[in-house]
Structure 1
């Protein structure tokens, strides 16, 4: 973790400072978190290698386009990276719609709907974890255009790597349903959905510990299996 004076200027604000102080005191937990990420990502990749190959073949047979979806996202300290995800939409879907998904989105392919339901489309993000751009638990990486709309306090979520899952992801696992009735999806996401998710993300920083993140991973599994969290 960087010292306060080494943070990017846009993060050195009075709104971010309290969250930085919390994490600075828990640097050992951050080291343990990174070690866990590397070991666990390697183990899962070894186990999931064959299933991921099968998924890749299914995607190619189902629709035209690449197997992977690579979009620029933002992670620690505002760093830009291209996320790894299995493609679940038609080719060039981001050119014909919003960067967020709504209910009954006709851009989603048949195989894509299955992958999204089981969150298998996120398996390739294990590569991002190994590269250090992501962690198993952390604020979901947003597209640049949404990060530019962050309130000053929201920048505190960039103190740690973006995550595959989070408490916000669990509570907003069906966010596409909230957006489906909107006439302006991006506006609704920025003004209503994003602040709600950030409330959970910031709360997770305030209560951060490595062991609490293990609990979040367990809750994620339960949510995928159908358990509802209010």
Structure 2
């Protein structure tokens, strides 16, 4: 309940941004404004995650097709939104509808949950979040994948196992203090880096 109240307050404070960003997307790249994708969350249940659209449309993206590290489809406005993480703001809707928390393991598409099912089963014992330690650590994930000769293999064999380890470590040590530190680190990484 507290998370929903905070989410509503944030929506009110950020209303000017939440109005300006869609207008910028529409004027530079047309509709749709939002990108919606099926992810696996709490107790292994699928839900729709929302973001501001940062790429040109492609069939299958909403179902989790993997375009690892591809930056050719990123729009001009999308580059700014990704750098500032403003594209993630619509996930406050996910907090309001109860499918996500502010802090928690990032939800993944079904394809990648199927690669490490036993680890994900443990991760799915808590709600996913908008940010977590792995989000901060892999803030440049797109660059890593873009420079890889085999982005899918890099994600599957290197990045995803490390993320899962960080998710499980977060779950083990979760507390209000830990969450507060993660939120502060997230703001720092967006503003300073």
TM-based fold match above 0.5: yes
Q: Is the 8 A contact 2:39 2:46 kept in 1?
A: yes
Structure 2 gaps, min length 5: none
Check if 1:40 corresponds to 2:40: no
The equivalent residue for 1:102 is 69
Check if 1:121 corresponds to 2:90: no
TM-score (norm 2): 0.92
The equivalent residue for 1:29 is none
The alpha-carbon deviation at position 192 of structure 1 amounts to 0.9
When Rg is computed on C-alpha atoms for both structures, the one with the higher figure is: 1
The alpha-carbon deviation at position 98 of structure 1 amounts to 5.3
TM-score (norm 1): 0.78
Check if 1:170 corresponds to 2:133: no
Check if 1:196 corresponds to 2:131: no
Q: Runs in 1 of length 4+ with deviation above 3 angstroms?
A: none
In the aligned structure 1, how far is the partner of 2:68 from the partner of 2:192?
Answer: 20
Equivalent position SS for 1:82: strand
Check if 1:74 corresponds to 2:22: no
Check if 1:150 corresponds to 2:116: yes
Check if 1:58 corresponds to 2:27: no
Q: Following superposition of structure 1 onto structure 2, how do residues 5-24 of structure 1 map, counting pairs within 5 Å? A: none
Equivalent position SS for 2:124: helix
Q: Is the 8 A contact 1:64 1:90 kept in 2?
A: no
In the aligned structure 2, how far is the partner of 1:165 from the partner of 1:138?
Answer: 6
Structure 1 gaps, min length 5: 1-34
